[in-house]
Amino acid sequence: MKMALVIGASGGIGGALTAALAAGGAQVTGLSRAQGLDLGDPAAGMAGLAGPFDLIVIATGILAPPGGAPEKALAAIEAGAMAQVMAVNAIGPALVLAQVPRLLARDRPAVVAVLSARVGSIGDNRLGGWHSYRASKAALNQIIRGAAIEIGRSHRQACVVALHPGTVATPFTAAYRGNHAAVPAADAAAHLLAVIAGLTAADTGRFLDWQGQEVPW
């Protein structure tokens, strides 16, 4: 039976991924704050995990600190708020990824999928704004790319990727979707799992959207 680990299992997409994987017969371990996971020190919350896992998904993130909002202009940047977004969106996943190698088998394929966002693409940025969120996801993308290289040296059958889930109808995006079409979390999970199912070690280090299409860095 496939063993899967979902970090951020209490979130909209993380919860939908957990449910979909379990429905498909996987043995799923879900971690979030409810299970004692602190992104400031994920090693403590992950210490009891043994694996090896066939799939690890990191589905954590914030658009802005509680009570805040993504900046629409440079003048709206506030150092403390930016630091919080960076801590959750980039530093936290980096600390989680540091725990990943010991949780993967060396003798069989495995996928590590980290949820990023198209707005973190530097090449795709045509609108500006959302400075902290964009910068944090761009930093995350660099971390994922580096992790793919490092993990690939010791786990040659592993695939480490950044995935853009699209605009998903969750509380995370409710106040910011505007006129953008959003899909239910269950549909987003199905799309992401379909992409994951087609990945091999040759895809490691890529940034893909929910349709499996390349996203520019």
Q: Does residue 214 sit within a domain?
A: no
Q: What is the pLDDT of residue 177?
A: 56
Q: What is the pLDDT of residue 128?
A: 95
Q: What is the pLDDT of residue 190?
A: 97
Q: Does residue 118 sit within a domain?
A: yes
Q: What is the pLDDT of residue 3?
A: 97
Distance CA 25, CA 203 (A): 25
Q: Does residue 217 sit within a domain?
A: no
Q: Does residue 84 sit within a domain?
A: yes
Q: Does residue 180 sit within a domain?
A: yes
Residues in the chain with pLDDT values less than 50:
none
Q: What is the pLDDT of residue 179?
A: 61
Q: Does residue 215 sit within a domain?
A: no
Residue 83 CB neighbours (<10 A): 13
Q: What is the pLDDT of residue 34?
A: 87
Q: What is the pLDDT of residue 175?
A: 63
Number of structural domains (the chain) is 1
Angle 212-128-214 from CA coordinates, rounded to 5° = 15
Q: Does residue 216 sit within a domain?
A: no
Distance CA 118, CA 79 (A): 23
Q: Does residue 20 sit within a domain?
A: yes
Q: What is the CATH number of the domain that holds 95?
A: 3.40.50.720
What domain range is 194 assigned to? 3-209
Can you give the pTM of this predicted structure? Answer: 0.94
